[in-house]
Amino acid sequence: MRNFNENTITDAVLERIAGATDQRIKQVSEALVRHLHAFVREVRPTQKEWEYGIDFLTRTGHMCDDKRQEFILLSDALGVSMLVDAINHPVPEGATETTVLGPFFVQASPEKDNGADISGPKEGDPMLVTGSVSTVDGRPLAGAVVDVWHSDDDGYYDVQQLDKIGDLAMRARFHTDQNGRFNFWSIKPAAYPIPHDGTVGDMLAVQGRHPWRPAHVHFMISAPGFEQLVTHVFVAGDQYLDSDVVFGVKDSLIREFVRCPPGRAPDGRMVDSEYYHLNYDFGLKQVASNARAA
Ligand SMILES: [Fe+2]
């Protein structure tokens, strides 16, 4: 076949990939071609606009390295990350809702004991975080791995300022105790704009959007036999809760970071200044095969 035109090119491409032996590859490829061609027919880009699109994606790729993931930001800012999350994580009663991973997770997070202060060299309003991890029916999960990470009070993560602070901070990996509980100290995070000096920032600007996320603490919680939970807890009252640039806010994930006077904190520590206290009790969902066996 040859001499394709606007009306025949889509079927020609679909026909060309009809022989794919992996059915999932075939399904994804066909949908990609149908939707991409439909998009081009609707938008009717000029040659120059097509070149801009190619250049935009090329620049997005060039911005990516082991510290910066512009494609995840693009996915987040277009709502695709939350759509994938919603499709993959229906939440049963008692399980904590999920939200985006975001671009600042670090695989090799430092292991810390419960009660540790993870603020490193950063200063800010002291924050005590206490919490528990349990099954959806309230059975405490001992030994669950709790990864936490958050921004400083200027809205920057450690990986954005390693040249200044020298090492990872405001992130750590804890294990729940025999009662399924964990606790640590840090500083209260602030709202922050996602990195907007790249292609995603350009896109937000021309779309008339701000780049801000409401203040939050990230949690990734794992326990054998349970689905890994990736979520945040947001600071109640933040001005960006209704316009989070990555569409990640859910009511069940908003908590008061309670302002407390100096004195003995709930973990027994004596504190000589005001501090904030966040408590959140997480519920993990069993993996499907486990649920069937149970
Ligand atoms: Fe974040």
Looking at the structure, do residues 140 and 245 belong to the same domain, yes or no?
yes
281-291 pLDDT, tens digit per residue, is 999 999 986 44
265 confidence band (pLDDT: 50, 70, 90) = very high
| 104 Cα to the center of ligand 1, angstroms | 7
Looking at the structure, do residues 108 and 240 belong to the same domain, yes or no?
yes
| 100 Cα to the center of ligand 1, angstroms | 9
89-124 pLDDT, tens digit per residue, is 888 999 999 999 988 898 889 999 999 999 998 899
| 60 Cα to the center of ligand 1, angstroms | 20
Q: In total, how many domains does the chain have? A: 2
| 258 Cα to the center of ligand 1, angstroms | 20
| 46 Cα to the center of ligand 1, angstroms | 37
Q: Residue 227 falls within a domain, yes or no?
A: yes
In this prediction, residue 289 carries a pLDDT of: 65
Looking at the structure, do residues 107 and 222 belong to the same domain, yes or no?
yes
Q: Residue 244 falls within a domain, yes or no?
A: yes
CA 114, distance to chain mean position in Å, is: 24
Looking at the structure, do residues 243 and 101 belong to the same domain, yes or no?
yes
How is 166-214 classified by DSSP, letter by letter? -S--SEEEEE--TTSEEEEEEE----EEPP-SSHHHHHHHHTT---EE-
Q: Residue 3 falls within a domain, yes or no?
A: no
181-231 pLDDT, tens digit per residue, is 999 999 999 999 999 999 999 999 999 999 999 999 999 999 999 999 999
Q: Which domain holds residue 102?
A: 75-293
Query: Considering 17, 48, 66, which residue would you say is the last residue of a domain?
Result: 66
Looking at the structure, do residues 231 and 212 belong to the same domain, yes or no?
yes
Inter-axis angle of helices 9-16 and 23-43, nearest 10: 170
Q: Residue 160 falls within a domain, yes or no?
A: yes
Count of Cβ atoms closer than 10 Å to residue 253 Cβ: 19
Looking at the structure, do residues 276 and 228 belong to the same domain, yes or no?
yes
Looking at the structure, do residues 157 and 242 belong to the same domain, yes or no?
yes
Looking at the structure, do residues 231 and 186 belong to the same domain, yes or no?
yes
Looking at the structure, do residues 58 and 79 belong to the same domain, yes or no?
no
Looking at the structure, do residues 192 and 91 belong to the same domain, yes or no?
yes
CA distance 120 to 269: 18
Phi and psi, residue 94, nearest 5°: 95, -15
Q: Residue 276 falls within a domain, yes or no?
A: yes
Q: Using only C-alpha atoms, what is the Rg of the chain?
A: 23
Looking at the structure, do residues 22 and 94 belong to the same domain, yes or no?
no
Q: Residue 180 falls within a domain, yes or no?
A: yes
In this prediction, residue 203 carries a pLDDT of: 98
Mean pLDDT of the chain: 94
| 171 Cα to the center of ligand 1, angstroms | 11
Highest mean pLDDT, choosing among 3-7, 158-162, 231-235: 231-235
Looking at the structure, do residues 193 and 121 belong to the same domain, yes or no?
yes
Cβ distance 210 to 235 under 8 Å? no
Q: Is the pLDDT of residue 294 over 60?
A: no
